[in-house]
Amino acid sequence: MKAFDVIAAVLLVIGGLNWGLWGLFDFDLVATIFGGNTVALARFVYILVGVAAVYQAVNISGIQSRWSPATT
């Protein structure tokens, strides 16, 4: 499960950076990289970011327990 946590975190960083760039400069990095925001690959990235956000929101307590240091 830690692999999913890392993938979700990376996708959330990508999404956060994209939203930050859009908010500050009206620049959509994902759309620029993939050729427009209606291109299938760009839409797929947007969907993955959304799924990652839902995954993180639903599993926050499980993620915290998996990543907390072991107590002895």
pLDDT tens digits for range 34-62? 999 889 999 999 999 999 999 988 887 76
Nearest partner of 2 among 65, 66, 58, 46, judged by Cα: 66
pTM over 0.85: no
Position 70 confidence tier, pLDDT thresholds 50, 70, 90:
low
> Which sign, positive or negative, has the C-alpha torsion 48, 53, 57, 61?
positive
pLDDT at 44: 94
Question: Under 8 Å CB-to-CB from 2, ≥6 apart: which residues?
Answer: 66, 67
